[in-house]
Structure 1
Amino acid sequence: MIGTALEWYDFMIYNTMSALVFGRLFFPASSPMTGTLMAFSTYAVGYLSRPLGGILFGQMGDRIGRRAVLTLTLLLMGISTGLVAFLPTYQMAGALSPIILVLLRFLQGIALGGEWAGAVLLGVEHGCAGRRGLNASWAQMGPGVGTLASSAVIASVATLTDGAQFLDWGWRIPFVLSGGLAIVGLWLRHGVRETQTFETMQRKGRTLRSPIRHLLRYHGRSLVIASLSRIGPDVLYALLVVFSLTYVTQVVGQSRVIVLTALLVGSTLSVPATLGFALLADRIGVRMVYLGGLFMAIPFACVFFPLMRTGHEAAIIATVAAGLVVHASMYAVQGAFITACFPAEIRYSGSSISYTFGSLAGGGAFAPLIMTVLYRTTGSTLSLSLYVVVAAAITALALLRADRAGKQEY
């Protein structure tokens, strides 16, 4: 959980800065909304590179082990994020600056693409039988903790600096901190032994030379279902954590501190909510909890923007926080659902590829871009709400089509 939290701290710092400052620092020749659109393009690069990380590290995880791959992903994430702190702006280095920014974002995505499945598998394969929801939820709490930490740090810096200072040097501080956190994460991961499931596979000679080839040949249906399970939660998350920053600050006219406070409150609530929904899943079933979250997401998408437009600080904070709890109901069981779709010898590859390609295919990579374009084109938030509703409906249909993925087996 802690290792995953550190990686998501890095990833979320970049996401937040894309909405707050990167448009002005690295794309200054454009209008504010166009600059944000270009900044979200670099956000999308992090998602586009995830499948590459899923393929590369997924195959390694099924061949050389879960623990070694997780150490590599954390090291790559820490280095690529820390370097952003020392990146010159467009004013200093011209076009070279955004190019380097995109490259570092690309490396972030590769690291995160190989991270998620391994972290979930450590919990699943080390955990006791019959507690699938709880076992898989520890890694799922990591993003909430990471988002909480990143929101707290950015909110603190934003509060302690004025607008000019934050734009000049304050935004760099959270990236500097990521270097020290990476060292802590590496030390923690070094102390975790390899899972007994993988050690047994190695001892019995069950590891495959080409896990991905086996996956594509014999488990295509499971791969599709697991991938589609990502769509609804990802689009909702992009609305809450990325697009809301732009909408509230540029359209509603509230300060960035209000939105960051909302993310801070929501992330705080999502951590115990994730644990609670995971425990519930062990009682009533993973798919039942997942479907319940999707059905809650549909009406929430319809009331999100009217509540945002009130401009009341309490309403904004409560709405974003409630949305993150709804997201937690799905994210809590996502790891249990996806990893149960695949047998042990291809579990890392299958989980990594479905997780990363599912987000890419479902629009998670482009969700902030799509939302920005929809809003600029239609001038209405109704199209954005419908986008979230359709994404949730697609995932619900995929869950209803699952068979082995819904059973208590690994």
Structure 2
Amino acid sequence: MVFASLLGTTVEWYDFFLYSTAAGLVFNKLFFPTADGTVGTMLSFATFAVGFVARPVGGLLFGHLGDRIGRKHTLAFTMGLMGVSTALIGLLPTYQQVGVLAPALLLVLRVAQGVALGGEWAGAVLLAVEYGPAGRKGRFGSYPQIGLALGLALGTGVFALLSNVLSESAFIDYGWRIAFLISLVLVVVGLTVRLKIDETPAFKAARRLRELPRAAPLVELWREPAARRHVVLGMLARWGEGAAFNTWAVFAITYATGTLALDRTPVLLAVTAAALVMAALIPVSGTAVDRYGARRVYLVGMAAFTVSVYPAFWLFGAGGTWAFAAALVVTLGIVHGSFYGAQGTLFAGLFATPVRYTGMSFVYQMSGIFASGITPLIMTALLALGTGSPWWACGYLALTGLVSVWATGRLREGDQHVPTGRTSPAVAAARESSALVGSGAEGARS
């Protein structure tokens, strides 16, 4: 089960992050050629952001299915959709070959990627958390989060390898396509593993007790005052995390190869190394959740991100590739890894079993529009506003971190698992689910 959850998220994030890496290195040249390089890059990042706009659609669609028919089959479909969309991107003609049809097709496939990932994340986390034994929910909930780091490392690593073994012209002509076509192999392996697992115990219990939502899960979610509160606070709590990750893992590549004029392959290897450090620390974060509680671990990590922004950008420009790599390992690898492992368990603890898939998807994917999708655009614009100086961009990142610290602190321990208000299927199942998602000191007090 843990392997199925981790493998699935790794494949999905590999596919999704291939696009983010290619957006700053390839797509701006092949699909959005303009005389102004900044405009081409911003157009490329705009299609990157569209994937995040599509993710809430996938989150609500597959969240509904996951809360009504189960986690297993929903996750199989999201993986298949992601794999096919990614492989087709690798077969697209360029702007020079077919004109405006090329970016139009790229946009459609990016939307399909967004829909697929929108339904993937919450289901994969629930697969792990709802199977996790008592006292180890935090660690189990961190395993799908490792897929984010591994997917990023795999994507940037493949691009770095192709950049190293191929000439510049060969890489631009066909090399980047290889990375996208590899997705088909990964998806076949992932589907084979995922289809062999059983439905989660929590969902089977809710189905057996006939506590699945009578109305649409989204309707049930918004009927409960505590659930509505957690949706809003959860989205704000995620703002800093989304902005941080898409700065260090996406924007930083363009910033380093463009503004800092660093070589592409070492930059990609630096991102890969930072992602591997992050992957190693995420289970440590999950273990800390079982001891100290998800909210506390997440809050401390988010505060660390906030204070690290200005030093990180100072180090980026201080000493070339090695300084850039060191800053990235600290910010993306160590700081982000210290709290990202807590996020899945934290959000799972906000909602009862019958609406958990929908609630988590809504929080994570809807916030992804402003927290993640437009971050490279905002950072590029603020960099231009500062005529190359990063300090306006740093101020924006620090603001997102402060908001997230405040919102995380507002998630009250006493109402994390049991919604208040009128009796509904969600309320009945919440009492059963409190033991499921409660962990560490917070779970004991809830």
Query: TM above 0.5, one fold?
Result: yes
Aligned equivalent of 2:346, options 323, 337, 352: 337
Structure 2 stretches lacking a partner, 5+ long? 1-5, 417-437
Asked if the contact 1:19–1:246 (Cα under 8 Å) also holds between the matched residues in 2, the reply is yes
- In the superposition, the TM-score normalised over structure 1's length comes to 0.97
Q: Which runs of 4+ in 1 moved over 2 A?
A: 404-407
1:277 aligns with 2:285: yes
Query: In 2, Cα distance between the equivalents of 1:252 and 1:164?
Result: 22
Matched, 1:211 2:200: no
Q: Counterpart of 1:124?
A: 129
**What does the per-residue CA deviation read over 1:73-106, in whole Å, with 9 as the maximum and x for residues that have no partner?**
0000000000011000000110000000011000
1:408 maps to 2:443? yes
Native 8 Å contact 1:50 1:113 kept in 2 = yes
Give the drift of 1:134.
0.5
Query: Which one of 101, 105, 111 corresponds to residue 106 of structure 2?
Result: 101
Partner of 2:50: 45
Any conservation in 2 of the 1:82–1:178 contact (CA below 8 Å)?
A: yes
Aligned to 1:161: 166
Query: Which residue does 2:360 correspond to in 1?
Result: 351
The equivalent of 1:391 in structure 2 is 400
Q: Deviations over 1:131-174 (max 9, x none)?
A: 22112101111111111111211110010012111111111110
Measured against aligned partners, the alpha-carbon deviations of 1:291-318 in whole angstroms (never above 9, x if no partner) come to 1111211221111222111242211111
CA distance in 1, matches of 2:208, 2:138: 28
Match of 1:315 among 293, 313, 323: 323
CA deviation digits over 1:53-74, x for unaligned, max 9?
1110001100000011100100
Q: 3-state SS of the aligned residue for 2:363?
A: helix
Query: Quick check: 1:304 aligned with 2:304?
Result: no
Q: Give the deviation of 1:355 after TM superposition.
A: 0.6
Distance 2:88 2:319 in 1: 37
Pairs within 5 Å for 1:93-242: 93-209=98-214, 210-218=216-224, 219-242=227-250
Partner SS, residue 253 of structure 1: coil
Q: Check whether the contact 1:130–1:408 (CA below 8 A) recurs between aligned residues.
A: no
1-structure distance, mates of 2:137, 2:407: 20
What is the one-letter code of the residue matched to 1:97? A
Give the partner amino acid of 2:203: F
TM-score by length of 2: 0.90
Q: Does 1:253 align with 2:265?
A: no
Shift of 1:330: 2.0
Are 1:50 and 1:356, in contact at CA under 8 Å, matched by a contact in 2? yes
Is contact 2:55-2:117 (8 Å) kept? yes
The separation in 2 between residues aligned to 1:144 and 1:240, in whole angstroms, is 12
**Do structure 1's residue 3 and structure 2's residue 38 form an aligned pair?**
no
Could you tell me how far apart the structure 1 residues matched to 2:351 and 2:35 are? Answer: 46
2: CA distance between counterparts of 1:222 and 1:264?
Answer: 34
**Counterpart code for 2:355:** I
Structure 1 spans left out of the alignment, 5+ residues = none
Identity %: 38
Is contact 1:229-1:358 (8 Å) kept?
Answer: no
Q: What secondary structure, in the 3-state scheme, does the structure 2 residue paired with 1:192 have? A: coil
**Size of the alignment, in residue pairs?**
409
Q: What RMSD in Å do the two structures reach over aligned CA positions?
A: 1.3
Measured after TM superposition, the shift of residue 378 of structure 1 is: 2.4
Cα offset, 1:29, TM superposition: 2.7
**Contact 1:225/1:402 (CA < 8 Å) preserved in 2?**
yes
Partner of 1:381: 390
Counterpart in the other structure of 2:433: none
Structure 2 Cα separation of the partners of residues 275 and 122 of structure 1: 16
Task: Tell me by how many angstroms 1:38 deviates.
Answer: 0.3
2:81 to 67, 76, 80: 76
Verify: 1:294 aligned to 2:302, yes or no. Answer: yes
Amino acid of the structure 2 residue aligned with 1:119: A
Contact 2:15–2:82 at 8 Å: present in 1 too?
Answer: yes
* SS of corresponding position for 1:169: helix
